[in-house]
Amino acid sequence: MAVGAVSNGIESDVNRWQYLNRFLTTPGPFTDDEATLGDEIIQRISSMKILVIGAGGLGCELLKNLALSGFKDIHVIDMDTIDVSNLNRQFLFRQADVGRHKAEVAAEFVEKRVKGVKITPYCGKIQDKDEDYYMQFGLVICGLDSVEARRWINAMLVGMVDGDNPDSLKPLIDGGTEGFKGQSKVILPTMTSCIECQLDMHAPREAVPLCTLATIPRQPQHCIEWAHIIAWEEERKDITLDTDDPEHITWLFQKALARAQEFNIQGVTYSMTQGVVKNIIPAIASTNAIIAASSCNEALKLASSTNPGLGMPGSNNYMMYSGDEGIYTYTFEHLKKDDCPVCGNLAKKIEVNSNITLRELIENLAERPEARQLKKPTIRTEAKSLYYQAPPSLEEQTRPNLDKKLTDLVSDGEEIAVSDPAYHQIQFRFKLLFRS
Amino acid sequence: MTTTPPVLQGPTAKEKKYDRQLRLWAASGQAALEDAHLLLINSGPGVIGVEALKNLVLPGMGHFTILDSAVVEEKDLGVNFFLDEQSLGKSRAQETCKSLQELNPDVQVDFNSQTASKFLSKPDALQPFSIILVASPLESKLLSQLSEHCDSSGVPLFYMHSVGFYVHFSIQLPHAFPIVDTHPDPVTTTDLRLLKPWPYLIEYAQNKTKGLDAMDHHDHGHVPYLLLLLHYLGDWQKSHDGKSPANYQEKNEFKKLVNSAMRRNNPEGGEENYEQAVAAVLKNLNEPTPNSSVKGVFQAEECANLSAQSANFWVIAHAISTFYTKNGVLPLPGAVPDMKARSSDYIELQNVYKSKARQDIAEVFKEVQSLEIKLGRTKQIESSEVEAFCKNAAHIKLIRGSPLHISAASTTLDWSDKASSAAMLLTDETSHFLLYVAFLAYDKLYDEKQIAPGIEAIKEDATIMTKYANSIIGDLLSQAGKKSSEDVEKAKTRVGKLCAELARAGGGELHNISSLGGGLIAQEVIKVVTKQYVPVDNICLFDGINSTSSVLRL
Ligand SMILES: [Zn+2]
């Protein structure tokens, strides 16, 4: 009887997965000659541990796609809870789930729908986990809306690579969307261009100068930013701004509206206030579907060799997608940068005026795209400590250096290393060239 | 002590739920979506259509009907996320309908378990639907019937394939499909009329830049760059026979002129407004000539020969074409980008543009009204529609829909006037045209055997498909009046590989690729229904092996 049950199970499995398994067992005209398809591949995919970072718009799609692509041991990390504005695209969530953790609800839903798939949720931050945790996975897929989180996991995976242990190299597949646009890419840490190498592909929104906000606003957005950055600080310093609190948004909206009226500026709305303050990026189901499926497609090809995919050194690794005018994709090879602070081995050359102080140098660095997020940098050269944020004794000891000129601290062409608690594994290396 | 007054313009529950999409297509787009009734004619594994529907149910498209005669089998559960164990043995249309409905209580999802041929035999079967999606495979006879219905009723029709790693879809749009709200990129499409300023703008700029040299640093650094450019253009014209910088070289010289006038002896060692002026020279110093797409609209027969029944679009287009003939420019859009300036100066300048734009709109509106009287139209066009048209007049688009290519067992495809452009694509490896040919061969074989290629015999079917593909290529060459070449022969070999990869699928879909295709199709449906952004015209292919895509106009 037991035997019968098992064989029935196998038979239904064979029936159930027949479309997928055809591709995992039968080579096609483009399949690599070296690839060995068959039961072994099916087994490899179903036992591979795969990590999905983010259970939002992309994450929901990724979990569904992976579960229906033969992956059976899926883990998912997300710290967020479900908001009503997620429901227009995050299809694993219902009105009744609002307020619950995304990772948990998403995992439950997909497990229930797709028999035999195990999804392990973790409701928290990626930063809570260490190298040992990430080492267990065969592949990591990101569906994130935060550049910071992408940079963190990228640095972690690059740092984990051990030349003597091939299993330490975890392919990273990353997708992102904004409105009708998106991109997906495959990264082989240390071997091909990484997230840090690609930072220039995501141009930051230009910040409006503070003096414009304070004295000469011209746009409704300027009035909103003023309410957000200046008025709140002046009038409600003791209350922590919660951009999800309608009372707070209403307060900012009213402030911005009054200021706009004062300057005869039109166009401040509640929705715009929310958009500016929360830095809302438009998001729709269709673009998420396209980008998540493209990411999962690369995962399947990478794990199975059923067909060649993106990401091998010397070949295309990046697909840009745009859907507002027709449909347009641009698939290319993004090149690894030798002076990438995460995966490169050269320091980035920067020209500086040798008469500026160390403090001014730190301010200048914070304006560079790669060092944009440096809030509390620690700086040293090969030989000495220039400025340490912590411990307090060292901070005190190095503080006087802040007001010294660069000429008194480093020599022309010397390398400095900058680190920051926000990116503990990344060391930004700069070679300082004195401007004559 | 202060309490925040109650929210006056706070979002409704619906606005909250749809916030992230309303920022793309606004309330007008949402209303159009909610009015739509879509029919999905499903067949095969049927996943791509259902995935498309998922992406349309979520944003709240109004009404769906799924036509699918299949009964849920074990193999459906490995590829369709909207079915589970409980669905086995039940109607696939009904079961998917149930799961999709759960995604959004605001929409109406209906099902029909008849076969397509039974359903289509009823005379008015298609009457309720405003848009139709068809998943391959479908008998060519039925596809032709659908294509004819959509052609005569002006209903958009999508025909799609998801086979293994490949996706194809074609869109048959109505013969005239005009779009006003194309959402052009505001940075590259700003129209400031610097080379065609209207008299008041010249006068205003002269006034505001009078005594520029005598201004103190603060004033000098706050003159809006737009006025600076007009000022220095005046200087330039004096030394260039009244002409403006016309070519790249002259524009560069003009740039230098502006740059050299920047004050550097101020505390900042430079001026942001001058930097903005310099940066704007190449971008904004352009003749506001209508592009070919706008000219195409003006020259269209529908624009020239209005009738009482003409669509509003054509009446307004006609009025704008009259405006253009009279004024030599299109109506001013009226938007001014942000620039370094004092608040009051900027607002004043903005108002100069806004009031000129309003004046232009009024002129067009007057013309529209006189046309309405002349034509004896009973329903008047609202000024808001004229205003929206005027603001985007330089970026309107007209798509001329053409019928689907239907690849049938016994007939030869007619490429009509597209034959020579299609023949050119045979040797363009990046175009994915050969993949399209492979799909045509796939349909031909299906139509002959009524079973998906590769199910019974991968190799044999691949060989037959390759033979069909080669004869499609041969027919195309003869219709284009071209001879084969070495490159075309190579293309025939390449198409064989594509046919083999299609046959490998055995009529199967990969969930993942269907999900991607469903994303593409949903996006295009949204663009077609909202008449916003620019839809694919008219064939799209996605290659999941190389992660590349193409749009072909054939
Ligand atoms: Zn790198």
Tell me the per-residue pLDDT of B517-541, one tens digit each, with 9 for 90 and over.
Answer: 999 999 999 999 999 999 999 999 9
Report the CATH number that the domain containing residue A402 is assigned in CATH: 3.10.290.20
- Say how many CB pairs under 8 Å bridge A and B: 257
How does the average pLDDT of chain B come out, rounded? 95
Domain enclosing residue A377, as ranges: 348-435
User: What is the helix, strand, coil percentage profile of chain B, to 5?
Assistant: 55, 10, 35
How far is Cα A68 from Cα B34, in angstroms, rounded to an integer?
31
φ and ψ of B153, to 5 deg? -100, -5
Amino acid present at B414? D
Closest CB to B24 among A29, A254, A282: A282
Q: Which residues of A touch B508 (CB under 8 A)?
A: 18-20, 22
Per-residue pLDDT, averaged over B238-265, amounts to 94
Amino acid present at A172? L
Contact between B277 and B376 (Cβ < 8 Å)? no
How far is Cα A380 from Cα A391, in angstroms, rounded to an integer?
15
Residue A30 sits in the same domain as residue A163: yes
Q: Which residues of B touch A219 (CB under 8 A)?
A: 338
Per-residue DSSP letter, A398? H
pLDDT tier at A7, thresholds 50, 70, 90: very low
Å from CA of A379 to ligand 1 middle: 21
Question: Position of tokens 């195409």?
Answer: B296
Residue A188 sits in the same domain as residue A129: yes
Report the CATH number that the domain containing residue A236 is assigned in CATH: 1.10.10.520
Q: Is the pLDDT assigned to residue B4 strictly greater than 70?
A: no
Please answer yes or no on whether A85 and B20 come within 8 Å at the CB atom.
Answer: yes
Residue A23 sits in the same domain as residue A119: yes
Q: Which of A252, A277, A302 is the last residue of a domain?
A: A277
Q: Which residues of A touch B502 (CB under 8 A)?
A: none
In a domain, A125, yes or no: yes
Please answer yes or no on whether A113 and B84 come within 8 Å at the CB atom.
Answer: yes
Q: Which residues of A touch B6 (CB under 8 A)?
A: 250
Per-residue pLDDT, averaged over B302-312, amounts to 96
Token pair in block for residue B51: 């995935």
Tell me, yes or no, if B504 comes closer than 8 A to chain A by beta carbon.
Answer: yes
Handedness of CA B397, B403, B407, B413 (dihedral sign): negative
Per-residue pLDDT, averaged over A413-433, amounts to 82
In a domain, A337, yes or no: no
φ and ψ of B403, to 5 deg? -65, 155
Q: Which residues of A touch B544 (CB under 8 A)?
A: 297, 307
Q: Which residues of A touch B7 (CB under 8 A)?
A: 246, 250, 253, 270
The pLDDT assigned to A225 comes to 96
pLDDT tier at B383, thresholds 50, 70, 90: very high
Closest alpha carbon to A119 in A64, A58, A40, A176: A64
Give percent of chain A with pLDDT exceeding 70. 95
Closest CB to A254 among B5, B54, B516: B5
Q: Mutation test of the interface with chain A: which of B16, B20, B185, B349, choosing the one with the most A Cβ atoms within 10 A? A: B20
Considering A60, A211, A296, A343, which one is annotated as catalytic?
A211
- Note if A223 is an active site residue: no
φ and ψ of B242, to 5 deg? 75, 5
Contact between B137 and B120 (Cβ < 8 Å)? no
Paired with B66 in beta bridges are: B40, B111
Q: Nearest-CA residue of chain A relative to B20?
A: A282
Assign A435 to helix, strand or coil: coil
List, as ranges, residues 67-106 from B with C-beta within 8 Å of A: 73-75, 77-79, 81, 84-85, 102-105
Q: Mutation test of the interface with chain B: which of A87, A251, A286, choosing the one with the most B Cβ atoms within 10 A? A: A286
Cα dist. A309→A22, A28, A313, B58, B544 in Å? Answer: 18, 14, 11, 31, 8
Tell me, yes or no, if B430 comes closer than 8 A to chain A by beta carbon.
Answer: no
Q: Is the pLDDT assigned to residue A30 strictly greater than 90?
A: yes
Beta pairing class for A118-122 and A73-77: parallel
In a domain, A380, yes or no: yes
Closest alpha carbon to A361 in A421, A422, A404: A404
Contact between A173 and A298 (Cβ < 8 Å)? yes
**DSSP string across B513-551:** HHHHHHHHHHHHHHHHHHTBSB---SEEEEETTTTEEEE
In a domain, A2, yes or no: no
Please answer yes or no on whether A29 and B73 come within 8 Å at the CB atom.
Answer: no
Closest CB to A16 among B77, B341, B540: B77
Å from CA of A195 to ligand 1 middle: 6
Q: Nearest-CA residue of chain A relative to B19?
A: A85
How far is Cα B166 from Cα A181, in angstroms, rounded to an integer?
21
Tell me, yes or no, if A61 comes closer than 8 A to chain B by beta carbon.
Answer: yes
Closest alpha carbon to A292 in A90, A71, A62, A64: A62
Cβ count near B117 (within 10 Å):
13
Å from CA of A189 to ligand 1 middle: 8
Contact between B85 and A118 (Cβ < 8 Å)? no
Which domains are delineated in chain B?
13-176+511-552 (3.40.50.720), 192-287 (no CATH), 291-399 (no CATH), 416-505 (no CATH)
Residue A34 sits in the same domain as residue A176: yes
Please answer yes or no on whether A293 and B60 come within 8 Å at the CB atom.
Answer: no
How far is Cα B374 from Cα B318, in angstroms, rounded to an integer?
13
Report the CATH number that the domain containing residue A171 is assigned in CATH: 3.40.50.720
Contact between B124 and B136 (Cβ < 8 Å)? no
Tell me, yes or no, if A113 comes closer than 8 A to chain B by beta carbon.
Answer: yes
Cα dist. B461→A349, B442, B449, B455, B468 in Å? Answer: 59, 9, 11, 9, 10
Q: Which of A232, A252, A277 is the last residue of a domain?
A: A277
The pLDDT assigned to A436 comes to 62
List, as ranges, residues 219-258 from B with C-beta within 8 Å of A: 222
pLDDT tier at A371, thresholds 50, 70, 90: low
Q: Is the pLDDT assigned to residue A6 strictly greater than 60?
A: no
Please answer yes or no on whether A270 and B534 come within 8 Å at the CB atom.
Answer: no
Residue A86 sits in the same domain as residue A23: yes
Please answer yes or no on whether A68 and B512 come within 8 Å at the CB atom.
Answer: yes
Residue A265 sits in the same domain as residue A365: no
Residue A34 sits in the same domain as residue A114: yes
Q: pLDDT for A180-224, tens place per residue? A: 999 999 999 999 999 999 988 876 667 788 889 999 999 999 999
Q: How many domains does chain A have?
A: 3
**pTM of full prediction above 0.95:** no
In a domain, A8, yes or no: no
Cα dist. A95→A10, A92, A144, A188, B162 in Å? Answer: 37, 10, 22, 39, 32
Residue A251 sits in the same domain as residue A103: no
Between A355 and A177, whose confidence is greater?
Answer: A177
How long is chain A? 436
Q: Which residues of B touch A23 (CB under 8 A)?
A: 164-165, 504-505, 510
Residue A366 sits in the same domain as residue A323: no
Question: A194-208, A386-400, B251-265: lowest mean pLDDT where?
Answer: A194-208
Contact between B58 and B153 (Cβ < 8 Å)? no
Closest alpha carbon to A221 in A177, A264, A183, A272: A272
pLDDT tier at A144, thresholds 50, 70, 90: very high
In a domain, A293, yes or no: yes
Tell me, yes or no, if A226 comes closer than 8 A to chain B by beta carbon.
Answer: no
How far is Cα B419 from Cα B554, in angstroms, rounded to an integer?
8
φ and ψ of B112, to 5 deg? -150, 125
Q: pLDDT for A108-138, tens place per residue? A: 999 999 999 999 999 999 999 999 999 999 9
In a domain, A159, yes or no: yes
Q: Looking at CA atoms only, how far is residue A254 from chain B in angstroms?
A: 8
Closest CB to A19 among B22, B45, B55: B45
φ and ψ of B383, to 5 deg? -65, -30
Q: Looking at CA atoms only, how far is residue A104 from chain B in angstroms?
A: 18
Cβ burial B335-360 (10 Å sphere, 16+ → b, else e) = ebeebbbbbebbbebbebbbebbbeb
Q: pLDDT for B270-289, tens place per residue? A: 999 999 999 999 988 988 88
pLDDT tier at B93, thresholds 50, 70, 90: very high
pLDDT tier at B221, thresholds 50, 70, 90: very high
Whether the ω angle into residue B137 lies within 30 degrees of 0, i.e. cis, is: yes
Q: Which of A240, A259, A277 is the last residue of a domain?
A: A277
Tell me, yes or no, if A98 comes closer than 8 A to chain B by beta carbon.
Answer: no
Q: Is the pLDDT assigned to residue B22 strictly greater than 70?
A: yes
Residue A295 sits in the same domain as residue A238: no
The pLDDT assigned to A8 comes to 56
Q: Nearest-CA residue of chain B relative to A19?
A: B508
**DSSP string across A58-126:** HHHHHHHHHHTTT--EEEEE---B--GGGTTT-TT--GGGTTSBHHHHHHHHHHHHSTT-EEEEE-S-G
Cβ burial B272-297 (10 Å sphere, 16+ → b, else e) = ebbebbbebbeebbeebebeebbeeb
Residue A134 sits in the same domain as residue A259: no
The pLDDT assigned to A2 comes to 40
Please answer yes or no on whether A285 and B59 come within 8 Å at the CB atom.
Answer: yes
Residue A197 sits in the same domain as residue A227: no
Å from CA of A338 to ligand 1 middle: 8
Cα dist. B245→A99, B189, B288 in Å? Answer: 60, 20, 14
Instruction: Kindly tell me the burial class for residue A120, based on how many C-beta atoms sit within 10 Å of its own C-beta (0-12, 13-18, 19 or more).
Output: middle
How does the average pLDDT of chain A come out, rounded? 91
Closest alpha carbon to B90 in B101, B100, B78, B98: B98
Closest alpha carbon to B43 in B146, B128, B130: B146
The pLDDT assigned to A390 comes to 82
Assign B68 to helix, strand or coil: coil
Per-residue pLDDT, averaged over B467-482, amounts to 96
Q: Which residues of B touch A84 (CB under 8 A)?
A: 13, 16-17
In a domain, A340, yes or no: no
Please answer yes or no on whether A29 and B497 come within 8 Å at the CB atom.
Answer: yes
